[in-house]
């Protein structure tokens, strides 16, 4: 798991064969639920290519994700990328470990 702090970190994720971008806030109760789902996901898939982005700590990187992917900013939000192309997205209470695992294959 890698923490995204800069636009360069976003570019690294976008250039990976597969990347899971998880955007969240540490002050939002809905994000707390999503963080729990992502922790459950990582327990079952510890080698998954997860990139975490705290939207308050790295607002420029968060905006950059939206610009580069064409997906409007939401928080919490999961974006599954394959070869830089968006495959699956989920926001708010739709961020669920089992759904992400199914999409990852």
Question: Residue 37: what pLDDT?
Answer: 97
Q: CA 56 from chain center: how many Å?
A: 14
Alpha helices, H only, 1-105: 7-15, 29-44, 59-69, 97-104
CA distances to 22, 28, 54, 55 from 63, rounded to whole Å, are 13, 18, 12, 9
Here the tokens at position 58 are 């790295």
What CATH number is associated with residue 59?
3.40.30.10
15: burial class by Cβ within 10 Å (0-12, 13-18, 19+)?
exposed
How many domains are there within the chain?
Answer: 1
- Per-residue tens of pLDDT for the chain, all 105 residues: 899 999 999 999 999 999 999 999 999 999 999 999 999 999 999 999 999 999 999 999 999 999 999 999 999 999 999 988 888 999 999 999 999 999 988
């Amino acid at each position: 798991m890698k923490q995204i702090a800069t636009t360069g970190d976003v570019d690294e994720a976008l250039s990976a064969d597969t990347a899971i971008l998880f955007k969240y806030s540490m002050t939002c109760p809905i994000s707390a639920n999503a963080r729990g789902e992502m922790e459950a996901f990582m327990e079952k898939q510890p080698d998954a290519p997860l990139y975490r982005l705290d939207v308050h700590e790295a607002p420029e990187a968060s905006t950059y994700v939206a610009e580069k992917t064409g997906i409007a900013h939401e928080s919490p939000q999961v974006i599954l990328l394959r070869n830089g192309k968006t495959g699956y997205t989920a926001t708010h209470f739709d961020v669920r470990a089992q759904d992400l695992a199914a999409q990852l294959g």
